[in-house]
């Protein structure tokens, strides 16, 4: 039960360690032993309290500056099997080499406008489905990364739990979610094993751009279905075989058709992807006991086969983005182009 206190909005559980030899502005043990975050703050520890959120945001900034390290429940680093583990190794190396590009929710990131646009694009397909959720819905964001979708779930007033195996991503997520404020908790967990969460716990489980990176994606679909309530919504996106085409190059429809037979990509110590067709995505959901409501092709333009048609410098201009989203919807519904999607988005329900 103690572990589940992290689900309580008044009990975000987190441990802080001072980095030996570095003076942080907090009363942390000099030997680097961990302390519970709640012992460092004398006021309310509700993440709905702006003062506590400001403190958490400062803590995340101290972690980013290398002054402290943060640990998240259940305080055991998940052991990922190869080849899925390679993605975390690749991400960690990228984060060290390109910290600004990695932290895409920071306005200074060169990828900020792109990632924010792509979130808008996903949401343009999801909004009508999300309307069925109750106020203050309990939501789990699996493989939530630095919080791109959790930020949106909080904005909508959902009680949001973000599960993510990468501790560095969780430390950044803390800052982004604290700036947003609301009922949230952060968990260092892999999608294959969400054991702190009881069966049928959540109204919504999101897994955006995650399950295709698991060594055995099906384990992630089954775990997501387990923690979902009956009648609850599952929303997820996965890469299509179009992701196997060389990026930044123009490809013909024939190239795209030929790529459909590619099932995976592996770069040892760096990257592993299992590509999904719409049919494979449907089968994965159904064999996890979910009923598919819709599968939608997405990312034809940015990061997709028609990337050359986008003026990336205009991302952030709402009218321009609305136009791109309109074109995306037309392509998703077109007989000729639908299967050229770079990613597939599924909406499913647990019966
Ligand atoms: C492309 S990012 C997407 C992050 C976030 N969902 C978003 O849309 O911004 C892929 C995420 O999947 C996470 N991931 C990789 N393997 C995982 C696993 N086995 N279980 C859960 N998450 C995993 C990565 O650490 C990373 O945060």
**246-274 confidence digits (pLDDT tens):** 988 899 999 999 999 999 999 999 999 99
Pairing mode of beta strands 138-142, 159-163: parallel
Q: Is 80 close to ligand 1, i.e. is its CB under 6 Å away?
A: yes
Residue 309 and residue 180: Cα distance in Å, rounded? 33
- Only one residue has tokens 């030997």, namely 31
Is pTM beyond 0.75? Reply is: yes
Domain coordinates of the chain in residue numbers? 1-71, 78-349
Specify the residue with its C-alpha closest to ligand 1, atom 10.
210
**20-49 confidence digits (pLDDT tens):** 766 667 888 888 899 999 889 888 888 999
Residues in Cβ contact with 335 at an 8 Å cutoff, skipping those fewer than 6 apart: none
Q: Which atom of ligand 1 is nearest to the CA of 148?
A: 9
Secondary structure of the chain: what % helix, strand, coil (to 5)?
40, 20, 40
Q: Which atom of ligand 1 is nearest to the CA of 169?
A: 27
- Residues above pLDDT 70, as percent of the chain: 96
Q: What is the biggest distance separating any 2 CA atoms in the chain, rounded to whole angstroms?
A: 64
For 77, phi then psi, to 5°, come to: -70, 125
Whether pLDDT at 19 is above 90: no
Q: Is 88 close to ligand 1, i.e. is its CB under 6 Å away?
A: yes
Q: Is 148 close to ligand 1, i.e. is its CB under 6 Å away?
A: yes
Q: 121 burial class (0-12, 13-18, 19+ CB within 10 angstroms)?
A: buried
Judge contact between 222 and 250, C-beta under 8 A. Answer: no
Residues in Cβ contact with 74 at an 8 Å cutoff, skipping those fewer than 6 apart: 3, 187, 188, 189, 195, 196
78-349 CATH: 3.40.50.150
């Amino acid at each position: 039960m103690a572990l589940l206190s992290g689900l309580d909005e008044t009990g975000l559980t987190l441990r802080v360690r001072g980095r030996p030899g570095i003076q942080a502005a907090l009363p942390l043990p000099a030997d680097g032993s961990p302390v519970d975050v709640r012992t460092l703050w004398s006021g309310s520890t509700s993440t709905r309290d702006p003062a506590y959120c400001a403190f958490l945001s400062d803590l995340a900034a101290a972690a980013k500056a290398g002054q402290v390290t943060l640990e998240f429940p259940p305080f055991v680093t998940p052991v990922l099997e190869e080849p899925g583990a390679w993605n975390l190794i690749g991400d960690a190396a990228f984060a060290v080499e390109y910290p600004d590009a990695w932290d895409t929710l920071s306005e200074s990131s060169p990828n900020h406008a792109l990632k924010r646009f792509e979130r808008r694009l996903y949401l343009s397909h999801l909004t009508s489905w999300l309307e069925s959720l109750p106020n203050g819905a309990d939501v789990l964001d699996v493989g939530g990364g630095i919080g791109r979708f959790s930020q949106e779930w909080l904005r909508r007033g959902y009680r949001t739990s973000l599960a993510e195996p990468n501790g560095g991503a969780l430390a950044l997520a803390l800052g982004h979610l604290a700036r947003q404020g609301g009922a949230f908790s952060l968990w260092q967990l892999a999608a294959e094993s969400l054991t702190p969460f009881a069966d049928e716990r959540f109204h919504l489980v999101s897994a955006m751009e995650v399950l295709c990176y698991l060594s055995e994606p099906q384990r992630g679909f089954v775990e997501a279905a387990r923690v979902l309530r009956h009648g609850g919504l599952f929303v997820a996106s996965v890469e299509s075989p179009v992701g196997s085409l060389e990026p930044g190059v123009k490809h013909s429809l024939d190239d795209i058709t030929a790529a459909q037979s590619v099932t995976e990509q592996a770069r040892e110590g760096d990257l592993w992807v299992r590509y999904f067709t719409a049919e494979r995505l449907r089968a994965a959901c159904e064999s996890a006991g979910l009923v598919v409501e819709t599968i939608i092709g997405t990312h034809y333009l940015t990061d997709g086969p028609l990337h050359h048609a986008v003026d990336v410098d205009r991302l952030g201009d709402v009218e321009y983005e609305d136009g791109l989203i309109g074109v995306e919807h037309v392509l998703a519904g077109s007989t000729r182009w639908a299967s050229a999607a770079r990613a597939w988005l599924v909406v499913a329900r647990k019966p």
